[in-house]
């Protein structure tokens, strides 16, 4: 399966600045078609959604197109796609909505592996109604979170399990489907943080067993907004707080205020770009599966190159050790991580240091709130970038 990284790179104007970007987990660069879609929308006749004027129809078409695009990307139903300002905002809103159905003594399971956006909203919501939070721990030595780790904290009172599909800090991809099966067996819902996962692998929400799957287009070459996908039938049963005049239809009842039409147009363009990079045939969903499989294989190859290079460098600890993971590496430098961050940046290599909002995971690893250096891949990273990274890390190790 061929992946033409040179053709991909040609579509990213930001790369002309000459930097090697290993900061994709924090937000990707965007292709020209995404920027063009955003600009074109802002320069078109635009109004609140409707069917009477051209401006209204433009807005309405953009929303429907974006729901269909995200549904194809995630293997979800378009009527179950909810847009918001960010994954964090959407998760807070859903946590408040679901907590209204909980009672004192009910339980919510969160994991130490997760980004705080899939931990803190549930802790706050649980506290508001007297529910109990139970923690699933991961093994810091292997960076693995297993179904047994989650099973140990499940009970008949569990109402929700919040779990990541891929750790933004370590890259670990836990067995979400196995966890979901265990959760469903005790009557719990499953909320999956797919922010980091969606950028690196094919996704099928129902195959994961996710009742809710949240992600962020700006992590997969799109603009800054958030997405939540769920079964429309499940969304029909939920009553979020909303304005009286706003639509009570699903999914609109979960979208507060006017949607950012230009960002939704950019999201559709990002999905179209991903669908094209694998040169597949068939429906957009079929082409996306080909593209994401090709991208996953390509990035895994680059990750293997980086890991082989790191093995030859002194003073570097690789914390990303899970057998099944994204092309994301967390590196310890003996307390010199921030220094390494600046050292690499001065050489045009962007690889930031921190805990990246995965506070619990960082603490579990013994890294406190400061974390370590994170190296993450994106579709436009090539062998030359990897060479620059390894050369810069080698120079830093020698210093």
Average of pLDDT values for 63-91? Answer: 98
Give residue limits of the domains in the chain.
5-31+292-398, 36-273
Residues 6+ apart with CB under 8 A from 362: 169, 355, 368, 369, 370, 371, 372
Q: Is the dihedral of CA 57, 60, 66, 68 positive or negative?
A: negative
pLDDT attached to residue 365: 98
pLDDT attached to residue 2: 80
Residue 68 predicted with pLDDT over 70? yes
Each residue of 211-237: pLDDT tens digit?
999 999 999 999 999 999 999 999 999
Task: Identify the burial level of 129 via C-beta atoms within 10 angstroms of its C-beta, where 0-12 means exposed, 13-18 middle and 19 or more buried.
Answer: middle
DSSP conformation class of 23: B
pLDDT attached to residue 287: 98
Fold matches, 5-31+292-398 and 36-273: no
36-273 fold: 3.40.640
Each residue of 143-200: pLDDT tens digit?
999 999 999 999 999 999 999 999 999 999 999 999 999 999 999 999 999 999 999 9
Considering the segment(s) 5-31+292-398 as one domain, its CATH architecture is Alpha-Beta Complex (3.90)
pLDDT attached to residue 313: 97
Indicate the SS3 state at residue 365: coil
Average of pLDDT values for 230-253? Answer: 97
Each residue of 289-310: pLDDT tens digit?
999 999 999 999 999 999 999 9
Residues 22 and 7: their CA atoms lie apart, in Å, by 19
Residues 26 and 71: their CA atoms lie apart, in Å, by 23
Residues 374 and 22: their CA atoms lie apart, in Å, by 8
> Which has the closest alpha carbon to 352: 14, 15, 19, 17?
19
């Amino acid at each position: 399966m061929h992946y033409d990284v040179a053709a991909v790179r040609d579509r990213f104007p930001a790369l002309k600045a000459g930097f090697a970007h290993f900061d994709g987990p924090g937000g990707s660069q965007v292709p020209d078609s995404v920027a063009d879609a955003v600009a074109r929308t802002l320069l078109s006749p635009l109004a609140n959604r409707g069917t009477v004027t051209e401006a209204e129809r433009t807005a309405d078409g953009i929303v429907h197109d974006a729901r269909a695009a995200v549904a194809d990307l995630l293997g979800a139903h378009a009527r179950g796609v909810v847009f918001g300002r960010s994954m964090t905002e959407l998760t807070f809103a859903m946590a408040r909505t679901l907590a209204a159905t909980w009672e004192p003594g009910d339980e919510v399971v969160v994991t130490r592996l997760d980004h705080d956006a899939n931990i803190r909203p549930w802790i706050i919501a649980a506290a508001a109604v007297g529910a109990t939070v139970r923690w699933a721990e991961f093994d810091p030595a292997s960076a693995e979170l297993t179904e047994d780790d989650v099973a140990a904290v499940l009970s008949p009172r569990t109402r929700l399990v919040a779990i990541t599909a891929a750790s933004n800090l370590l890259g670990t991809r836990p067995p979400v489907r196995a966890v979901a099966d265990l959760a469903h067996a005790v009557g719990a819902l499953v909320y999956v943080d797919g922010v980091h996962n969606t950028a690196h692998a094919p996704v099928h929400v129902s195959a994961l067993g996710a009742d809710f799957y949240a992600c962020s287009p700006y992590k997969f070459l799109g603009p800054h907004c958030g997405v939540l996908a769920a079964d429309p039938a499940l969304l029909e049963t939920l009553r979020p707080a909303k304005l009286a005049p706003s639509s009570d239809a699903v999914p609109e009842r979960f979208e507060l205020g006017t949607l950012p039409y230009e960002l939704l147009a950019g999201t559709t363009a990002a999905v179209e770009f991903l669908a094209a990079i694998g040169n597949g045939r068939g429906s957009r969903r079929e082409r996306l599966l080909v593209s994401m499989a090709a991208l996953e294989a390509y990035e895994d190859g680059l990750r293997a190159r980086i890991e082989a290079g790191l093995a030859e460098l002194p003073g570097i600890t690789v914390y990303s050790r899970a057998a099944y993971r994204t092309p994301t590496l967390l590196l310890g430098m003996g307390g010199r991580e921030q220094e390494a961050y600046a050292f690499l940046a001065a050489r045009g290599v962007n690889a930031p240091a921190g805990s990246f909002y995965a506070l619990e995971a960082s603490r579990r690893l013994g890294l406190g709130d400061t974390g370590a250096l994170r190296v993450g891949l994106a579709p436009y990273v090539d062998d030359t970038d990897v060479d620059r990274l390894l050369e810069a890390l080698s120079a830093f190790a020698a210093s």
